[in-house]
Amino acid sequence: MHLILFLFFGGICVAGAVNLLVQRHPINSALSLVVVMASLAGEYLLLGAEFVAAIQVIVYAGAIMVLFIFTIMLLNAGEEERSKGSRIAILLGVPSVAIGGVLVAWTLLRHSNTPSVPMFALPGDPRVIARFLFRDFLLPFEVTSVLILIAIMGAVVLASKPESVARPSAAEPAQREARELVASGRER
């Protein structure tokens, strides 16, 4: 039963990730990412890490995804336009995926005789996890938060509309002169 649930949540995770990539609307992609995060929380529960599962739901599926959806809505991102694709992406992407698949298969076959970890053998106590997170892995934790912030700022910059940038028009100098005349008339 444990293996069946593990495969079920893993299948939902993979399906959500694939759906995230094929969606045309950014909100739907973000909601697919919520499904991925929730299925990962289910995987953590099956591994006996209840605290990590709760944090996964509260922090990632909750707070971070709300931030992403808020940013998408703030940018008023509509449906994406589809293009033909890049030849470079095809020439480099397909062989890279094939090489990555071969490496994953080789690693799984090479380490298939490793013993399984008994349930509850991994650290799941909040005190132990906090020690790992804020002492041993503090730098990667902070780098991740800065990367998320930079990604959001980059999305805002890339999605800003050119009309919102103030450009001087031909009528603007005349309007400025008229304002100055009105202001000098008031002073008299």
Report the range of poorest mean pLDDT among 46-55, 57-66, 121-130, 157-166.
Answer: 157-166
pLDDT for position 72? 76
Query: Cα separation of 16 and 57, whole Å?
Result: 16
pLDDT classification of 79: cutoffs 50, 70, 90: low
Mean pLDDT of the chain: 79
Cα–Cα distance, 30 to 41 (Å, whole number): 17
pLDDT digits over 100-155, tens only?
Answer: 889 988 888 887 776 776 766 666 677 887 888 888 888 988 888 898 888 888 87
Q: What sign does the CA torsion over 117, 49, 126, 57 have?
A: positive
What pTM value is reported for the model? Answer: 0.54
pLDDT band at 170 (very low <50, low <70, confident <90, very high): low
Which tokens is 22 given? 């094929």
Instruction: Evaluate if residue 184 carries a pLDDT over 70.
Output: no
Give the range among 17-31, 67-81, 159-173 with minimum mean pLDDT.
Answer: 159-173
Token couple for 90: 């095809």
The pLDDT of residue 77: 63
Mean pLDDT, rounded, for 71-88: 71
Q: What integer pLDDT is reported at residue 124 of this predicted model?
A: 66
Lowest mean pLDDT among 12-16, 81-85, 101-105, 149-153: 81-85
